[in-house]
């Protein structure tokens, strides 16, 4: 099933919860309202003609100028061999998105990583802890306005350039 | 002399029989069988694990953040460090996602060079995986048989691109150099010598009773779990899902090549156990040899790299590509804002998902089986942390 058909199925079922579909993009994507994301994902997984049984990738992108953090879901269906991309916008100062861990277990670690590096809180997540950075790290490194601290536990993060 | 007062309590029994106590063990971060630096917190009752919680991040080098600072061309050598055991695929993934963003087509011969380099790298990576798996389980000899052949591949790849581990061979739009003179002959000679050796591995390891005792029926992952946790590549195929990006979402020149996709069948135990994950890799090496022979036969003449501007500025937008790495479907996501620097880059690697499932599969296993599970999932720690 192609992106336009998937968008129609979703639009018919969820109406306002599902936004536009960009068919011109390299990978066509559908915008989804944060409040509807879990139901949309469950619908995409369970319908027999959609069967998106795998969450290939979930990541976040910080759009500082727009004031949003975009959470991007790349879904794939093994039975039907088709793919779709979902995008959810969360406000940058209080980014909260419901977790899809209940739909795909793969989301557990992917969301922990997004929480760690971009500071998006996933509501209802079973184990929302930092994944890659140390537990006492301050800030979220992949945010565009992140400033690297000068030292961490007395270890300097600065190094003189050797090329001079 | 009387020993009264010095008795040692050897057995404590409670209302429900022998009384036991849970103990927390720390495995890693420095441990020879963790293939890099990673740590497990193991809660065990005697020899049986209640849970093994992975603690990752020791090898986090912020590669994704670096991409935002160094530009599209400049990021290529950094991609080698994502997965240094199979660096060609990371090169290819980054190359492909940039080409998708900018709409560049790679010349035919360039694609052949890429596939030749990648398939050699796949054999090398699987050899290391198979060799270290046997080593972790306790057999030292077969490791050298595997590493010996891997060295020969390293020699070939060194001739191709000057490096033995972090290749930096591919470029956006193709590859850096054409095959050196005599490379095809040397490669065919290597394949002629290597293919019979796979039978040697089977004799030495695969159907060895002691080895089977350690890996058959251990940590079986069901088909549904494998998909739900997004296991990819050999780990997914071992659970019986016949899916290979090269065949099902074809890229590069794979549609022109003939090869099988081996899947686990539970021949020595349950589908998706450690043995299946191991044997799928052995069989994939045979397929890679087949692909390589076809490549050398069909390879056309021509340029190996497309014309790509030095100031590479793909139009704004995002793209996601899948590459069948040695550790499975590797996803590269890149966002461009139209400038010289990527706005965001994300790599979703095979080991990442494999690490996430260890917590689940390790429950109820013996502590000694944990190393078999890690090795069979072919986890490369830097790939988890990036």
Whether pLDDT at B7 is above 80:
no
Considering the domain boundaries, does residue A36 fall inside one? yes
Distance (Å, rounded) from C-alpha A8 to C-alpha A25? 17
Rounded to two decimals, the pTM is 0.86
**Residue B10 pLDDT:** 63
User: Which tokens in the block code for residue B257?
Assistant: 């090549």
Q: Does some domain include residue A149? A: yes
- Arithmetic mean of pLDDT over chain B: 86
Distance CA B78, CA B74 (A): 8
Q: Mean of the pLDDT values across residues B109-118?
A: 90
User: What 3-state class would DSSP assign to B351?
Assistant: helix
pLDDT, one tens digit per residue, over B276-298 is 888 899 999 999 998 999 988 88
Q: Mention every residue, 6+ apart, whose C-beta is less than 8 A from residue B80.
A: B87, B90, B91, B165, B166, B167, B168
Return the pLDDT at B34: 61
The span from the first CA to the last CA of chain A, in angstroms, equals: 58
A64 located within any domain: yes
Domain count for chain A: 1
More confident residue, B267 or B295: B295
- pLDDT tier, A136 (very low <50, low <70, confident <90, very high otherwise): confident
Residue A163 lies in a domain: no
pLDDT for B145 equals 87
pLDDT bucket at B321, cuts 50 / 70 / 90: very high
Q: What is the pLDDT, as a whole number, of residue B33?
A: 62
| B346 CB-contact burial (10 Å; exposed 0-12 / middle 13-18 / buried 19+) | buried
The pLDDT mean for chain A works out to 86
Q: What is the pLDDT of residue A164?
A: 63
Whether the predicted pLDDT of B223 surpasses 70: yes
> In this prediction, what percent of chain A has a pLDDT beyond 90?
6
Cβ neighbours of residue B82 under 8 Å, at least 6 residues apart?
Answer: B63, B90, B347, B349, B382, B383, B386
Q: Domain of residue A118: give its range.
A: 3-156
pLDDT of residue B332: 92
Strand, coil or helix: B383: helix
What are residue B289's phi and psi, to 5 degrees?
A: -60, -45
pLDDT in tens, B16-47: 777 777 788 888 777 666 666 788 888 888 78
pLDDT of B50 reads: 84
Question: Minimal Cα–Cα distance from A101 to chain B, Å?
Answer: 10
Return the bridge partners of A121, or none. A96
CATH number at residue A94: 3.30.460.80
Chain B residues in contact with A45 (beta carbon < 8 A):
none
Tokens of A18: 């599902």
Q: What is the pLDDT of residue B57?
A: 84
Collapsing DSSP states into helix, strand and coil, what is residue A30? strand
Residue B14 predicted with pLDDT over 80: no
User: B229: Cβ–Cβ under 8 A, 6 or more apart, which residues?
Assistant: A105, A106, B353, B356, B357, B360
Q: Do B317 and A54 touch (CB under 8 A)?
A: no
* Percent of chain B topping pLDDT 70: 96
Residue B293: alpha-carbon gap to chain centroid = 23
Shortest distance, CA B168 to any CA of chain A (angstroms): 22
Confidence of residue B1 (pLDDT cuts 50, 70, 90): low
* Model pLDDT for residues B46-104, shown as the tens digit of each residue: 788 888 888 888 888 888 888 888 888 889 889 988 888 888 999 999 999 999 988 88
Torsion of CA A42, A44, A50, A51, to 10 degrees: -40
Judged against a pLDDT cut of 70, whether residue A162 lies above it is answered with yes
Mean pLDDT of B4-18: 70
Helix (H) or strand (E) holding A40: helix A37-46
- Do the beta carbons of residue B242 and residue B259 sit within 8 Å? no
Q: How many distinct helices (H) and strands (E) make up chain A?
A: 3, 9
pLDDT level of residue A50 (50, 70, 90 thresholds): confident
Give me the residue from A105, A106, A141 closest to B65, CB to CB: A141
The domain at B60-385 falls in which architecture? Answer: Orthogonal Bundle (1.10)
Query: Are the C-beta atoms of A31 and A95 separated by less than 8 Å?
Result: no
Tell me whether residues A57 and B333 touch, CB distance under 8 A: yes
Q: How many CB atoms lie within 10 A of CB B139?
A: 17
Arithmetic mean of pLDDT, A144-155: 85
Interface check for B243 against chain A (CB to CB < 8 A): the answer is yes
- pLDDT for A17-38, tens place per residue? 777 877 788 888 888 888 888 8
Contact between chains at A56 and B228 (C-beta distance less than 8 A): no
Residues of A in contact with B56 (CB under 8 A): 131-132
What pLDDT is attached to residue B189? 92
φ and ψ at B328, to 5 degrees?
A: 100, -175
* CB-CB neighbors (< 8 A) of B356 in chain A: 105-106, 108-109
Nearest CA in chain B to A63: B343
């Amino acid at each position: 099933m192609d992106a336009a058909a998937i968008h129609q199925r979703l639009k018919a079922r969820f109406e306002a919860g599902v936004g536009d579909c960009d068919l011109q993009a390299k990978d066509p994507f559908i915008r989804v309202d944060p409040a509807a994301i879990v139901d949309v994902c469950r619908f995409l997984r369970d319908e027999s003609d959609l069967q998106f049984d795998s969450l290939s990738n979930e990541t976040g992108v910080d759009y500082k100028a727009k004031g949003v953090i975009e959470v991007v879901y790349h879904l794939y269906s093994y039975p039907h061999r088709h793919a779709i991309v979902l995008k959810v916008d969360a406000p940058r100062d209080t980014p909260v998105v419901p977790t899809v861990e209940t739909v795909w277990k793969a989301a557990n670690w992917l969301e922990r990583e997004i929480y760690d590096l971009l500071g998006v809180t996933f509501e209802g997540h079973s184990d929302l802890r930092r994944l890659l950075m140390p537990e006492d790290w301050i800030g979220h490194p992949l945010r565009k306005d992140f400033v690297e601290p000068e030292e961490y536990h007395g270890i300097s993060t600065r190094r003189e350039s050797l090329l001079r | 002399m009387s020993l009264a007062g010095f008795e040692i309590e050897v057995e404590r029994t409670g209302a429900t029989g022998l009384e036991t106590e849970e103990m927390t063990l720390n495995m890693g971060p420095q441990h020879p069988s963790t293939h890099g630096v990673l740590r497990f917190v193991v809660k065990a009752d005697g020899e049986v694990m209640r849970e093994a919680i992975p603690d990752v991040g020791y090898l986090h080098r912020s590669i994704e953040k670096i991409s935002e600072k160094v530009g599209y061309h400049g990021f290529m050598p950094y991609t080698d460090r994502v997965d240094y055991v199979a660096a060609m695929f990371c090169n290819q993934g980054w190359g492909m996602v940039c080409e998708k963003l900018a709409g560049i087509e790679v010349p035919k011969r360039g694609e052949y060079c890429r596939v030749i380099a990648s398939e050699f790298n796949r054999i090398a990576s699987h050899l290391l995986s198979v060799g270290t798996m046997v080593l972790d389980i306790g057999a030292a000899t077969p490791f050298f048989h595997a590493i010996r052949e891997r060295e020969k591949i390293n020699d070939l790849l060194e001739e191709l691109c000057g490096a033995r581990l972090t290749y930096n061979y591919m470029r956006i739009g193709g590859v850096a150099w054409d095959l050196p003179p005599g490379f095809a002959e040397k490669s065919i000679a290597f394949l002629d010598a290597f293919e019979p050796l796979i039978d040697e591995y089977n004799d030495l390891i695969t159907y060895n009773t002691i080895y089977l005792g350690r890996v058959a029926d251990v940590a079986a992952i069901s088909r549904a779990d494998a998909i739900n946790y997004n296991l990819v590549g050999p780990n997914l195929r071992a659970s019986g899902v016949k899916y290979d990006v090269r065949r099902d979402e074809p890229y590069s020149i794979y549609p022109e090549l003939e090869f099988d996709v081996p899947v686990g069948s539970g021949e020595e135990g349950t589908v998706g156990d450690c043995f299946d994950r191991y044997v799928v890799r052995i069989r994939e090496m045979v397929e890679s040899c087949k692909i390589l022979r076809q490549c050398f036969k069909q390879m056309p003449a021509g340029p190996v790299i497309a014309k790509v501007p030095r100031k590479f500025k793909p139009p704004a937008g995002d793209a996601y590509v899948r590459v069948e790495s040695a550790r499975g479907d590797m996803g590269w996501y890149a966002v461009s804002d139209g400038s010289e620097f990527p706005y965001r880059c994300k790599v979703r690697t095979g080991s990442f998902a494999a690490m996430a499932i260890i917590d689940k599969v390790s429950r109820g296993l013996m502590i000694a089986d944990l190393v078999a599970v890690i090795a069979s999932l072919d986890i490369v720690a830097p790939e988890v942390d990036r």
